[in-house]
């Protein structure tokens, strides 16, 4: 699995493509070209309800989320995987594909919309949910213009939308013990709640002793131009205070990402990035959500046949 900031790349890759792992299975939106971004390999999104190869290892139980009309447990460190299914009629985003993505596909890039196989454009409109979680919502456009429209879609509701899997979007700040570097984790409430103890334990050597708790999303403290890494099909992000990636507001593919500022705590960044990649909660691959139950379908067909014979 390629880990941004830690793993050396053998070849250069286009930085602005909507890239990386996760099987989107979306029913509309971007193009069908192969993934080309900053994370691991994808798998076929042909629409078959086939099992992914990566559903061994549930990980540590986290909280629960509501997705596809069902409530299911999520696991920090779990492998993910499972079936890629069609969300059932009557459920939110019915007809779109969901599930099937694995831990190896968790890394995106700095681009909103990265982390989806089969898309080479930025943005998240019309896409499926390879990890079941909805992509982030950044709120209203503060005035960045037409080139920023892809960042401020209202398709998935406002950041405080409590119906999104995992609950409303929240943040958690992590400050370096060696300088003023501050990173913020931005995701749904359940994801942030589950990751805080894992990060504070695993990165304790890099962090101040001040505890951190989830706080309501605040666009003045975490914004898309501050993102240093997206994860889990752009449903989770790590931002850096003071960073301004002007490429986020430029015409697509017209500008390279702004380099990170000099003097930041690279050790903390590496620890956060690695810990999030290894531990971000995923739906267990053995869990069946939103797809038709084949046993129930078979029973109904049998019952209809019996009634026809009577």
DSSP 53-74: S------EEEEEEEETTEEEEE
218 near 171, Cβ under 8 Å? yes
79 near 30, Cβ under 8 Å? no
Q: Which of 119, 147, 129 is nearest to 225 (CA)?
A: 147
pLDDT tens digit string along 8-63? Answer: 443 322 333 333 333 444 443 333 333 333 333 333 333 344 344 343 467 899 88
For residues 217 and 173, give the distance between their C-alpha atoms in angstroms, rounded to a whole number: 11
pTM reported for the whole predicted model: 0.79
For residues 70 and 264, give the distance between their C-alpha atoms in angstroms, rounded to a whole number: 42
**In which element (H, E) is residue 17 found?**
none
- Residue 145 neighbours by CB distance under 10 Å: 8
pLDDT tens digit string along 172-231? Answer: 999 999 999 999 999 999 999 999 999 999 999 999 977 789 999 999 999 999 999 999
DSSP state of 242: T
For residues 259 and 58, give the distance between their C-alpha atoms in angstroms, rounded to a whole number: 36
Q: Which of 12, 288, 282, 258 is nearest to 165 (CA)?
A: 282
**Residue 167, helix vs strand vs coil:** coil
No. of helices (H) and no. of strands (E), the chain: 3, 10
């Amino acid at each position: 699995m390629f880990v941004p900031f830690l793993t050396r790349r053998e070849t250069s890759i286009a930085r602005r493509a909507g890239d990386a792992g996760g099987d989107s299975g979306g029913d509309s939106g971007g193009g069908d070209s192969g993934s080309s971004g900053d994370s691991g390999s994808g798998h076929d999104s042909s629409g078959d309800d086939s099992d992914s190869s990566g559903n061994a290892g549930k990980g540590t139980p986290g909280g629960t989320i509501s997705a596809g009309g069902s409530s299911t447990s999520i696991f920090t460190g779990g492998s993910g995987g499972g079936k890629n299914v069609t969300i059932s009629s009557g459920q939110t985003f019915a007809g779109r594909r969901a599930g099937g993505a694995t831990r190896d596909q968790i890394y995106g890039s700095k681009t909103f919309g990265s982390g989806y196989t089969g898309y080479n454009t930025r943005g998240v409109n019309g896409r499926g949910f390879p990890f079941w979680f909805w992509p982030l919502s950044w709120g209203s456009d503060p005035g960045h213009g037409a080139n920023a429209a892809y960042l401020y879609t209202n398709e998935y509701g406002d950041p405080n939308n409590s119906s999104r899997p995992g609950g409303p979007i929240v943040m958690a700040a992590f400050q370096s013990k060696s300088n003023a570097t501050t990173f913020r984790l931005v995701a749904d409430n359940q994801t942030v709640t589950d990751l805080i103890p894992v990060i504070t334990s695993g990165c304790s050597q890099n962090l101040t002793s001040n505890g951190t708790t989830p706080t309501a999303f605040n666009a003045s403290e975490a914004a898309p131009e501050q993102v240093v890494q997206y994860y889990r099909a752009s449903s989770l992000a790590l931002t850096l205070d003071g960073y301004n990636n002007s490429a986020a507001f430029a015409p697509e593919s017209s500008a390279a990402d702004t380099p990170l500022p000099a003097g930041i705590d690279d050790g903390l960044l590496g620890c956060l990035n690695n810990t999030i990649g290894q531990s971000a909660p995923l739906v267990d691959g053995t869990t069946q959500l939103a797809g038709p139950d084949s046993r129930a379908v078979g029973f109904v067909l049998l019952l209809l046949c019996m009634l026809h014979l009577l």
